[in-house]
Structures are given as structure tokens and as C-alpha cells.
Structure 1
Amino acid sequence: MAREIAPDYFDPLATDPEQARDVARWRGAERNRLRAARDRMSVASRKDVSVSLAKQLQRLLINRFNGGRGKVLSVYWPIKGEPDLRPLMAELHDEGVTIALPLVEVKAAPLAFRRWTPDTRMVRGDWNIPVPPPDAEPMTPDITLAPLVGWDPAGFRLGYGGGYFDRTLAALAPRPVSIGVGFHTARLQTIYPQPHDIPLDFILTDAGVQVERQERP
């Protein structure tokens, strides 16, 4: 199994089928472990993390992106114990940031994005996740947030395993600035990156910026 081998052993560009299966099994186990730990958090603890993460995100936007004004920022609707950034979404909207939410329009294809405002009447999308309605304005994000199940110091994200976010980053041109957001406690030594994995530009947790890549494609 991948977790039984030193991280240096793995070539990130390797395509060996057996290795890929080992990594997939390891990721599945880590995904379950991290989600279980998240589920065990109290409501108060999860709220504290959400408040801290929102402050850290606002600070990052101010320091690097003029607060996000004039930009399209893709956020997310929280599910499965993810940090809840909805209060910040409304605040940023009031400050002149255009907010978009991602959704699945076609299975196994890049995500689409629709504009969100505090007055948007949400509808149920895939997996019963609330999304803006079909008549909402389609958007292309300048900055996109990616919720993290896990993360590593190289800037790679462990997600839910569907590959939607990597597929979306690969398809968008120009590629938006990508910011992984999640719990500081979800840090992994490595996710054993595979050829399809795309490192994020920033990893941001409730403890602040953990990764900032200096070079982007």
C-alpha cells in the first residue's frame, strides 16, 4: 500500500497501474478518516473554524487581490461539515465582489458557474446541493475556492474523489487563481500526487496561508 512506502519513493508523474490503485485505496481510507474526524467536531468548534477561515480569506483577498473587487469569485455551498463561508459571501457581494457558485451540468465534465447574490432563489442540484437556478447568469471565475478534505505542503488537494475540480482547472483558460480552503487539522504529509492532480495556488486554513505557489502555468 502507498501509505507503507516513503513519500520520496513515489514519482508524481508515474503511471504504473498498480501504484495508481494503491494511491486510490490510500486516498479513500484517508478521505474517510478525515471526514469522520470532521463529523466528530462540535457545532461550536466547526463554527469557530468557519469564522477564523472567513477572516483569513478576507485578509488574503485584501492583501493580494484588492479585496476581490471587480473580480468573479467562485465560492461553494457548504456540505458534509465543510467550513461555512456564506456570511462572507454576502459581505463580499456588498463590497462589490461578483460571487459565483459551481455546479455540475454534465457528468464527468468541468464544472459550470452561475452568479449568486443574497437574493438568489436556490434550487437543488446534483447530490441535493443548493445551486443558483438555470436562469442565473453564467460566469467564468477569476478566483475559485476549493473545499479541502485534506491538503499537503506541496499545494495538492484531497477532495471527494470525483475529479471535478482538477478537470475544471485544466479546462479553464486563462486558469483562475485557485485557493484551497479547509481545516488546518486536515494536513497530510503528501497526497501522493498523480498526473491528473493540479497543485493549487494557495492553501488557506483557519491558521492562515499554508502554501503560496510562486509560479503559475
Structure 2
Amino acid sequence: MDDDEKPATFASPACFLHEVDPAYSGLAGPFDLQAWTDVNRWRKSERERLIAARLAVPAETRALHGETIAAGVLAEIGDLTDRIVSAYWPFRGEPDLRPFLQTVAERGGRTALPVVVEKGRPLEFHLWQAGEALSRGVWNIPVPAAQRPCLPDIVIAPVVGYDPTCYRLGYGGGFFDRTLAAMPRKPRVIGVGYSAARLATIYPQPHDIAMGVIVTEAGTIRPYVSTVRALT
């Protein structure tokens, strides 16, 4: 799943900002391949460490954290009537939000799952709710068997790691960044993960897109705010 070995996987082809003169675009300066190589090496190491750490947490503890995170996300969203919410199928110790999807449907919302079409392309989102058929997608992750593409109002994105400015460390494929950059209407994006995955920084690059907020079992992190609001 590690696809950020080369700068060619940058996630802003929709606006071609990566091809603009830095002096015009306001970027800090020309792309530094060595700096990207160093950041990518560090991200890969941190990614492996954080995944191993969360898999070492007992499943019962992760399940309790998942319930708390789901409650925090619901509080953050508010009214769900006629809103499409995309979550994900849990993978490698991620918070399990499948019960959350059922709650969304019970409260008048519609639910969807992301689908990897192929490497290097944006994700697609397809409507799905509990009880409907699933098939095996890329990496054997379940995806909706029926193809019903949609444009979600809210996207829940799992994080491997995160920083206080709500930048997300993912699996390295660049799928979420690439998808958000290409969407005709940007949804509200909520990152979810465990508080132990917090990093001082992920060294965000021009192609990285910050989450609106990140919800953990310890509270909700908002961009540029260093304190964590405790859930009640």
C-alpha cells in the first residue's frame, strides 16, 4: 500500500498547483527531492511503528475506544437527516465504526464506503448500509457489491498518525489526499484514530490536505489548537 516513494504521487493534479512557479503560488520554494526523500523515509518508519503499537492494544480496549470515537463523531456531525456519510471497513486495528454507520442510518442519514479503483487514482464512494451485500476489493477489503456511486457530505478518514494541526499520516498510498483534491464539492472531512497516534508533526508537504477535525477516544483535535476538548 506504500505508494509515496516518488513525488509523482502528489495529490494536486486537479488544479495543477504543483506545476506553478513557487513565487506565484506562494509556496516556500522549489520542490526539494532530498527533503521529500527524508520525510518519506521517516513517515514509513513511523507508520510501521504506529500500526504495530495499535495492534498490540487488546481488542477489547480498541473496541471501547471505537465506541467513544463514534460518539464523538456523532456529536461533531449533529443532524444527519438526508446527509451521506462515508466511513470505512476497519483494517489493521483501526477504530471499528461499523456500528456508527448503523446509527447514521437510524437517524435519517445515508451511508457509504470508499472503494479503491486502482493504484494512483482517486477513491470512489458507493452507497451501502448494514445488511447489504459486499464483495472483496483491493487488499481484500470489503466494498459494496452493488455499484451506486455518490458524493458524500461527510467523509470519515482513519488515521495512522496525526499532528496538532490535523494533518493525517495514512498508509502512504495518497488515496484520500488525491480524492479530496479531485472532488467537485469538498465534503466535511473528519479524521479518526487513537490518541496514542499523536505526533509533533507529520512534516506536511504541499500535496497533503488537513482534516477538518480529528476525533480520538481522548477528545477532538481542531486545527491550530494545541489543547484537546474532553468528550462528555
Structure 2 length-normalised TM: 0.82
Q: Supply the AA of the counterpart residue of 2:119.
A: K
CA spacing shift, 1:14–1:178, aligned 2, 3 Å: farther
CA–CA distance in 2 between the matches of 1:152 and 1:25? 18
CA–CA distance in 2 between the matches of 1:170 and 1:49? 30
CA spacing shift, 1:190–1:132, aligned 2, 3 Å: same
Q: Supply the AA of the counterpart residue of 1:170.
A: A
| Aligned-residue CA RMSD (Å) | 1.6
CA contact (8 A) 1:150 1:159 kept: yes
1:107 to 100, 111, 119: 119
Alignment of 1:48-127 (within 5 A): 48-62=64-78, 66=79, 68-127=80-139
Counterpart of 1:5?
none
Q: Supply the AA of the counterpart residue of 1:163.
A: G
Counterpart of 1:149?
160
CA contact (8 A) 1:12 1:192 kept: no
Alignment of 1:3-22 (within 5 A): 15-22=31-38
Task: Work out the percentage of aligned pairs sharing the same amino acid.
Answer: 45
Counterpart of 1:186?
197
Alignment of 1:168-187 (within 5 A): 168-187=179-198
**Structure 2 unaligned blocks of 5 or more:** 1-26, 226-232
Q: Supply the AA of the counterpart residue of 1:105.
A: V
CA–CA distance in 1 between the matches of 2:28 and 2:56? 33
More deviation, 142-151/85-94: 85-94
Alignment of 1:150-169 (within 5 A): 150-169=161-180
How far does residue 107 in structure 1 lie from its aligned partner after superposition?
2.3
Count residues with an aligned counterpart.
199
Counterpart of 1:210?
221
In the alignment, structure 1 residue 197 sits paired with structure 2 residue 208 = yes
CA spacing shift, 1:14–1:46, aligned 2, 3 Å: farther
How far does residue 13 in structure 1 lie from its aligned partner after superposition?
6.4
How far does residue 14 in structure 1 lie from its aligned partner after superposition?
5.8
CA–CA distance in 2 between the matches of 1:89 and 1:51? 12
Local SS of the residue matching 1:87: helix
Q: Supply the AA of the counterpart residue of 2:189.
A: S
CA–CA distance in 1 between the matches of 2:140 and 2:28? 34
CA contact (8 A) 2:164 2:224 kept: no
Counterpart of 1:35?
51
